[in-house]
Structure 1
């Protein structure tokens, strides 16, 4: 079952809510009235058996916030593909920043690759700094977009706020 909310494109006024078996049926609602738009909702748009404007808006807002989180997570995973590797990279960063002349990960990697340890330390720190800068930018955009979606008062404003320019 696909739940949806139909609203006026200009005013943002909610016209009706309903459900369809397929997304195609949902889109037919939009095609019948060009001044209206239809957006998928996060389940039935009822509260205690009664529809309400706030309920309709939240039915749009909630999945959009989740989609923003998912998009940010996908970008972070592209930078750091596995949790296990993230632990290893964090350990290597700790070793590189510690200033110690000997450490298990960096010593083993230097020996295995033939890269001088001091060059490896510089490379690990540079990579860590680059990851941190990218992660900070992603997190800032994620938080700003979620705040904008939470603060938006109409469905068109919510949808517009959820269109994040991730820069990719």
Structure 2
């Protein structure tokens, strides 16, 4: 019994030593309170992304920015994710896990999951990019931006 316990402790110690050797690099600026992403070894954790406006605000006319519907916003978010991954030497094929946060569209009071899927299938499971990540999608009451209908975060792994 003691041999098994000692062997298990030795294995745990070796695993902890291996974990301690993982290099961690934060991708951050002084302006932001959070890192835009974090490398832990060959794994990249990209912070949640929101859509860019389709039409910027016009302060002279007093009109707010237009961010579009769920389909438009998720397409914008996936484009931003793709650019952020490319800056790190990665691509959408390297995404292994995705978490999607969705808000009901205030115009319809309904969650537009088909809109999410329509944009998702333009970036994942295509002929050019057949890889599909594991994914969770949850409905939330609100996001940090009152105009946001979706926020998406991903985890990508550098292939060896």
What range is the shorter-chain TM-score in? under 0.3
Q: Of the two structures, which has the highest relative contact order with CA contacts closer than 8 Å and spacing of 6 or more?
A: 2
Instruction: Write 1 or 2 for the structure with the bigger share of strand.
Output: 2
The TM-score normalised by the length of structure 1 is 0.26
Q: Which has the larger radius of gyration?
A: 1
The TM-score normalised by the length of structure 2 is 0.27
